[in-house]
Amino acid sequence: MEKEITTQQVYDLAMESFGVVPGIVKELAERSKEVAYIFTKGSMLLEKTTFTFTELNVMELKVSLLNKCDSCIKGHTYLLKKEGVSDLDIKAIIVNQHVSNERFENLLTAVENIYYAGSAAFPEHVTEHLQNNFTEKEIVEIIGIIGVKTIANYTNNFLVSVKK
């Protein structure tokens, strides 16, 4: 029988991963220590993917836009500005237009295609785009990023709804 996860374990993991205990981790832990742990550990592991910090934030901004999470949109916009992504490209991501960086453009397309195709077999054009631009490892990592980011997005959206 496994031991119960404690709030302190979640907070310790968050400190190890983020250097602080983010508000979303506190909110999750208050409601479900297990989901808080999954989110925190997942975020920590995704930092070790083949993607750069900036690429991760580009994808996380796109997921947050798709999930309509204003809090995360603001956070990832800030991080991208801090990383030197141009205001023009950030605005283009937000309004769903093309960006100047080809790699970002492929990542944004992949996230959106997987997000919308994820509930069924992927259409041929989605599979073709993914296979032409990414390794299978990267494709699975993008799926993981969507899943982990969605935990934070949906939780934030729920909390905004119940606090009205």
For residue 120, what pLDDT is reported?
A: 77
Cα dihedral sign for 130, 138, 78, 101?
A: negative
pLDDT digits (tens, 9 = 90+) for 5-32: 999 999 999 999 999 999 999 999 999 9
Confidence band, pLDDT 50/70/90 cuts, at residue 2 = confident
For residue 68, what pLDDT is reported?
A: 97
For residue 1, what pLDDT is reported?
A: 55
60-74, 87-101, 118-132, range with the lowest pLDDT: 118-132
Average of per-residue pLDDT across 41-53: 93
For residue 164, what pLDDT is reported?
A: 61
The domain defined by 51-162 carries CATH number 1.20.1290.10 = yes
Domain locations in the chain as residue ranges: 1-48, 51-162
How crowded is the C-beta side of 130, counted as CA atoms within 13 Å?
21
pLDDT digits (tens, 9 = 90+) for 105-161: 999 999 999 999 877 788 899 999 999 999 999 999 999 999 999 999 999 999 999
